Structure 1
Amino acid sequence: MSGSLETESLQDRLDCLQDLTEFTEKCRKRLNDIFDTLGWSWNYEDANQEPLEQCPYDRDHRVPARSLDRHRLSCSLSWMGYSAEEQADMVDASACYQNSVVRSFTMDKSTQQQVILQARAAAPMMKMEGVFWQGQYSSQPGDVPQNHKRSVCDLSVADRLALYHHVVGVLNEKRDACEPSGQDDLYVDWVSKLQKGEEQNEPKTHLELMAEMRDYKRRRQSYRAKNVHITKKSYTEVIREVISLLRVPALTRKTAPQPRTEQR
């Protein structure tokens, strides 16, 4: 009895497999006819498809070349342990300083490690009042913190102070290198610059803008408060005051006692 049931179940499976095979063959034949009608091929490749680049942090990630930089930044933050909420709170402020004179500094891991280790080597080995000693510095600095929370957790107070002094020193050197000397203004032809017509579209220098602001302030101070007594009065009030001022001498002459003439 059991042998017959096994034979029937096996035969049913074989019949089902045969039906599925015939169905798939019919579908394949129908698709081949459609492809032949449209002139398509199974190995169709889109010529306009963008080439995909491999992510340096995850080999399974393949993204278009145009979005590789954005993906690399997001993937590096995820690799360093930053959550999606922390990444959403991060704001890239570099676009705000593209056309400004504000100087910026980008800290990398090797520079951070070098600065902290140099400050640690220069610090005293024993505790001293008023200065940081070597035990307050990190012996093996990690990655560069990307938000305030990580900077407080991963870096000590001594580490942050050393990095602050390093960044300020580098920016001061850049400022001194880019800042022109005060004697360069002595050799500028200011007459030709001031007579420059409006048809010229050359951008004004910083010194020209400062000179215009100075002249504007001087004119503002010289013209201020010269007509305060009439700026807040209407035309009728001004005329009324003028008439009253002219009537005062006339009334004075009219009411003044005239000298008596004596007849002899």
Structure 2
Amino acid sequence: MSDPVQSEALQDRLDRLQELTEFTETCQKQLNELFETLGWSQENDEDFNQEPMEQCPYDSNHIVPVRTLEKHKASCMLRKMGYTAEEQEEMCDPSVCYENRNIKSFLMDKSTQHQVILKARSAAPLMKMEGVFWQGQYSGQPVDVPQNHKRAVCDLTVADRLALYDHVVGVLGQQSEAASSNEDLYVDLVSKLKKDEQQNEPKSHLELMAEMRDYKRRRQSYRAKNVHITKKSYTENKHVFGYFVFIKENYVFDASSFALARDSRSPDGHHHDRKKKKKKKDDREKDK
């Protein structure tokens, strides 16, 4: 004969098992409906769970998918260097602005930065001198490469920043010279000679007309501006200049004639004229 207590406990366990079975079946049904609505399949979900993962080199506790590893590494490195999430949001990758453009770029690392500063420090004077940086104004310990302006001002001195600037400008200048010399080696001399020969050929009628048009435009642009004669035609200007020449010639002739006549008369002649005028005046008074 079985114990009633054990029978009751067994029945209770069976009831709980039945409830769990019904619950799991209901959940599975809901999941199937959800997958069907989204157009997913459980096989793809299983493949997603098997996506290859890799450990972060900056934090061994971080296990991230391979497809997002580079993005995570950049963020984790900045976090290890002490940059906050707000500072990371304000940062931007400047390489996006230089895509498909012939602009040189330089990537500075911690070791190169320290070597450049040490080289500039060794070339600086030991004591303070006016107009130049001395060795005490350079950093002695290596620091991380600043990723924003705030860190650059705080971690690097003015002398450090100037030395790094001169180094980057010098390196990029050498790269530009090397690129220009390489381009000279690949100049198409044949096409250049053909172009020179084409320039030596006689010009066509259309080319001559275009040159004449450009010449007239330049001539008009070189004329005086805001002058009243620019608004007159050629014939009107000719009459104006002719009139001025006529006035000038006549004025000079009359003035010279008057001067000659005045100089040709003697002082006695002038005195005789005055006496005649006075005598006529006296005669008129007597008649009255």
Give the alignment's TM-score, normalised by structure 1.
Answer: 0.58
1:157 is aligned to 158
Give the Cα separation in 2 of the matches to 1:114 and 1:101: 28
Q: Residue type matched to 1:187 in 2?
A: L
Q: Residue type matched to 2:151 in 1?
A: R
2:217 is aligned to 225
2:64 aligned counterpart, secondary structure: strand
Q: How does 1:29-48 map to 2 (within 5 A)?
A: 29-30=21-22, 46-48=46-48
Q: Residue type matched to 1:47 in 2?
A: D
Q: Residue type matched to 2:47 in 1?
A: A
Q: Residue type matched to 1:145 in 2?
A: P
Q: Residue type matched to 1:46 in 2?
A: E
1:190 is aligned to 192
Shift of the 21–153 alpha-carbon distance from structure 1 to 2, 3 Å rule, reads: farther
Higher helix share: 2
1:52 is aligned to 53
Q: Where do 5+ consecutive residues of structure 2 fail to align?
A: 1-9, 33-43, 197-206, 221-288
Q: Residue type matched to 1:71 in 2?
A: H
Give the alignment's TM-score, normalised by structure 2.
Answer: 0.53
Q: Deviation digits for residues 131-161 of structure 1, max 9, x if unmatched?
A: 2111111010210000111101100001001
Shift of the 94–137 alpha-carbon distance from structure 1 to 2, 3 Å rule, reads: same
Shift of the 27–126 alpha-carbon distance from structure 1 to 2, 3 Å rule, reads: farther
User: Does 1:146 find its partner at 2:147?
Assistant: yes
Q: Aligned residues: percent identity?
A: 50
Shift of the 183–80 alpha-carbon distance from structure 1 to 2, 3 Å rule, reads: closer
Shift of the 89–31 alpha-carbon distance from structure 1 to 2, 3 Å rule, reads: same
Shift of 1:51: 1.6
Shift of the 59–190 alpha-carbon distance from structure 1 to 2, 3 Å rule, reads: same
1:144 aligned counterpart, secondary structure: coil
Shift of 1:225: 3.1
Higher alpha-carbon Rg: 2
Q: Deviation digits for residues 20-67 of structure 1, max 9, x if unmatched?
A: 9777644554467789999xxxxx981244322221112222222222
Give the Cα separation in 1 of the matches to 2:119 and 2:69: 35
Give the Cα separation in 2 of the matches to 1:33 and 1:183: 77
Question: How many residue pairs are counted as aligned between the two chains?
Answer: 187
Give the Cα separation in 2 of the matches to 1:140 and 1:20: 73
Q: Where do 5+ consecutive residues of structure 1 fail to align?
A: 1-17, 39-43, 195-214, 229-264
Q: Deviation digits for residues 232-263 of structure 1, max 9, x if unmatched?
A: xxxxxxxxxxxxxxxxxxxxxxxxxxxxxxxx
1:129 is aligned to 130
Shift of the 167–35 alpha-carbon distance from structure 1 to 2, 3 Å rule, reads: same
RMSD across aligned positions (CA): 4.1
